[in-house]
Amino acid sequence: MLAVALAGLSLLAAGCGGGDKKQPGEAGGQSLKGKKLVMYVSFHEDTAKELSELFQTKTGADVSFIRLPTGEALARIKAEKDAPKADIWLGGTADAHAKAAADGLLEAYKSPNAKMILPEYQDKDGFWYGTYLEVMAIGYNEKRFKEEFAPKGVKAPESLQDLLNPEFKGEIIMPDPRKSGTGNTFISSILQQMGEEKGWAYLKALKPQVAQFTPSGFTPGQKTGAGEYLICLNFISDQTLVSNKGQKIHSTI
C-alpha cells in the first residue's frame, strides 16, 4: 500500500505574489469583491467547481479555474514563470509542489490554519499544504472479470505480480507518469517497495501489458468502469467514484 500526500495550495510566484500583500485573515467577508482569481486545479472538476463557488460566495472574488493533470500543470507553471497566467495551484501530489518550490516557481504563504495540519503533511517554509492522503490501488471491472476471465480459471488481479499474467495483456490502463502525478506516484511506489534494480525490471515487464497510458489519473477508472479495459492502476478514490455511480470496480490496495 502506498499513501501519498496531495497538496492543497501553492501560490504561484509573481501571481498571487504580485500587488498588495494581505495578512492572514484579511480575505474574509467581501474584501476580495471585484478581484479576479485564476487557479490551476489538479483534481476533479466537480470538486474544483464547488470550492470555487464557495470561495466566491464568502469573499466576493471572481474565481475561475483550469483543470490540468499534475504534470501538465507543473510544466505550464514553469513555462509561464516570467509571466504567470494563474494565481494559485490547487491539488496535485506534494512532490510536484516541492519540485515547483525548489525551482522558484512558488511563493510561500504561512497559513493561520497550518496548525490544523500535521507537520509531515505540509512544507515547513509554507510552499504547500496537504489536503488529504491518497492510496494507490489495483482495480478491475467486476462484471467483465466474472463473465470473461473467471470461467477460464484466471486468478483475479489483486497483486503487482498478478498484473504480469499474459491473460491481462492489453487489458490494463494506467496514467502516464510523464504527465500525471498519479502515474508518477505509481512508478515511485514500485521503486520504493522493490528497490531500484527489481523495481525497474518489474516496470519493464509491466509496460507491454499496458494498453493505454492516459494524461489524467481519473481516466483509467472511468474506462475500466465502462468496460473498455479490465484493469486500472490509479488512486482508490477515483475507483470509488466510478463504483458509486454503478460501474463496479473491485479495488485492492
C-beta separation of 251 from 233 below 8 A: no
Averaged pLDDT for residues 112-135: 90
Closest-CA residue to 250 (of 148, 158, 142): 142
Task: Using pLDDT thresholds of 50, 70 and 90, give the confidence band for residue 131.
Answer: confident
Averaged pLDDT for residues 223-250: 96
Task: Using pLDDT thresholds of 50, 70 and 90, give the confidence band for residue 7.
Answer: low
- Report residue 68 as a C-alpha cell: 490540468
Averaged pLDDT for residues 29-49: 87
d(CA 133, CA 75): 24
Domains and CATH numbers, the chain: 3-128 (3.40.190.10), 134-252 (3.40.190.10)
d(CA 193, CA 45): 32
**Predicted confidence (pLDDT) at residue 6 exceeds the cutoff of 90:** no
Residue ranges in the chain assigned as alpha helix (H): 45-59, 70-79, 94-102, 142-144, 181-194, 196-206, 219-225, 236-244
Give the other-Cβ count within 10 Å of 211's Cβ.
Answer: 17
d(CA 139, CA 172): 10
The residue count of the chain comes to 253
pLDDT of residue 162: 98
